[in-house]
Amino acid sequence: MLRRPTVPIPVGQGKSIDDILSEMKLTAFQGRKLAETVDVWSRMLRKRRTVIWFGFAGAMIPAGMRRLLAYLIKKRMVDVIVSTGANFYHDAFEVAGGKHYLGNEVCDDRKLRRQRIDRIYDVYADEDRFYQFDRWLDNVFGEQLQDNYQYSSREILWQLGKAFYDKYGEVDSTLVSSYRKGVPLFCPAFGDSALGFSLMFANRKRKRNLILNAFKDVDESSRITEKAKNTGVVYIGGGTPKNFIQQTSVIASYQTRHDRSHNFAVQFTMDMPFWGGLSGCTFEEAQSWGKISSNASAITCYVEATIALPLVVHALAERFRGYKREVPTFDWVNDNVELTFEKTKL
């Protein structure tokens, strides 16, 4: 147990981001964990015929993470995505030219209210621009959806990605890049966002009958884990994205009568296990449920995502430049999905 000593990091010029993370691997605490997340993610990418689930919660798009997330999609370092309605809303908003602004968390929020400025910690946004965009969703995008059809969130988000691609072309966006790369997007709490309430207004004001059937989301998402023999998960924060991805393995194990627990797991979070919630629970706890495999490579790093993502994505970009990964393609036929894997250069 006393074989491998920690190696104090020497300071040097010209280090790349992967260099410094590799050095942090021989240190301790959360610095070491951060380095190990890159290693576990790397193992997922190298493992044959593996589907990588990616869940992200928290205001990642207003926080300037949009292009990092788009990169993961475009390079197929993630295969299926689950996030909150807010993130897809803000992604769409930015693609449509909306801006988020550098603000200050030490401020007078009542004054911001009077100026119609919405605050997200140290980010500001123009409320009137949000309202304009809501109207576009309601009046224009809503018209592109069919009445009476039972949509899954995946189908609506695909439609939204298509709408934006048709209008704005190739842009770095979770919606557009996923549309272009065939990466399914799920949003299990779609109604719980401006995306959801804007489309609700299409029903209410324009006498539409748009339907987002929550059961279809569960069905579609679990079918992916049923079909995939190997799965990995990467979580930015907790919330519905984490639980929704975790539960696919419970459903899939029940349905297939085989162990479909996830084989690789990475988690960046600031939520703690001590409060007993699913968001903060450890991968060890998840092993008791069979959500994460008892043999999984799993690592949690307690760090806020705006620190972790820029570093980890660049380290992966450096490490996997030109690498050929077996990337899954999803074909949705008669409410079921077929997976095919093909070697693709990242």
**Residue 321 buriedness (CB in 10 A; 0-12 / 13-18 / 19+):** exposed
Whether 291 is a known active-site residue: answer: yes
Q: Is 97 left (phi over 0), alpha (psi -120 to 50) or beta?
A: left
Q: What is the dihedral of CA 39, 306, 267, 87, to 10 degrees?
A: -130
Size of the site for its own copies (CB under 8 A): 132
Residue of 187, 237, 247, 241 whose CA lies nearest to 217:
187
**Residue 77 buriedness (CB in 10 A; 0-12 / 13-18 / 19+):** buried
Q: Which is nearer to its own copies, 14 or 169 (CB)?
A: 14
Per-position x/- string for 154-183, each x denoting binding to its own copies as judged by CB under 8 A, each - no binding: ------------------x-----------
Among 136, 139, 159, 273, binds its own copies (CB under 8 A): 273
Q: Scanning the structure block, which residue is given the tokens 């998840």?
A: 286
In angstroms, give the least distance from the CB of 48 to its own copies: 25
Amino acid identity of residue 267, one-letter, is Q
Q: Of 45-53, 93-101, 174-182, 338-346, which part binds its own copies (CB under 8 A)?
A: 93-101
323 binds its own copies (CB under 8 A): no
258 binds its own copies (CB under 8 A): no
Q: Which is nearer to its own copies, 247 or 263 (CB)?
A: 247
- Residues in the chain, overall count: 346
The kind and range of the H/E element at 34 are helix 29-46
Q: Which is nearer to its own copies, 182 or 310 (CB)?
A: 310
In angstroms, give the least distance from the CB of 143 to its own copies: 15
CB 100 within 8 A of CB 127: no
CA distance 58 to 236: 8
Among 96, 118, 230, 329, binds its own copies (CB under 8 A): 118
Q: Which is nearer to its own copies, 278 or 329 (CB)?
A: 278
263 binds its own copies (CB under 8 A): no
Among 48, 49, 105, 170, binds its own copies (CB under 8 A): 105
Among 48, 109, 146, 149, binds its own copies (CB under 8 A): 109
333 binds its own copies (CB under 8 A): no
DSSP string, 243-305: HHHHHHHHHHHHHHSS---EEEEEEEES--GGG--STT--HHHHHHTTSEEEEEEEEEEES-H
Per-position x/- string for 183-212, each x denoting binding to its own copies as judged by CB under 8 A, each - no binding: -----xxxxxxx-xx-xx--xx-----xxx
Catalytic residue chosen out of the listed positions 33, 74, 227, 291: 291
Site for its own copies in 21-60 (CB under 8 A): 23-24, 26-32, 34, 57-59
Active site members? 291
